[in-house]
Amino acid sequence: MKVVNAVKDDLNVWLELASEVEYLFGPMVSDPKFIQAIEKILINAVHFV
């Protein structure tokens, strides 16, 4: 397994994943604050894929 930092181009993948679990956790993909939080994480490279 190769671990790499997530980048801003990965945003759509993360949003797709979030949409798959919204039935468990509630709306996320349509929430601007959620999107901003994911963008901040990706820009600061604090998450891996």
What's residue 47's pLDDT? 58
Q: What is the pTM of this model?
A: 0.73
Rounded to whole angstroms, the Cα distance separating 12 from 18 reads 10
Task: Count CA within 13 A, CB hemisphere, residue 42.
Answer: 17
Residue-level pLDDT, tens digit, the chain, 49 residues:
887 777 888 899 999 999 999 999 999 999 999 999 999 888 886 655 5
The structural domains of the chain, with segments of one domain joined by +, span 8-43
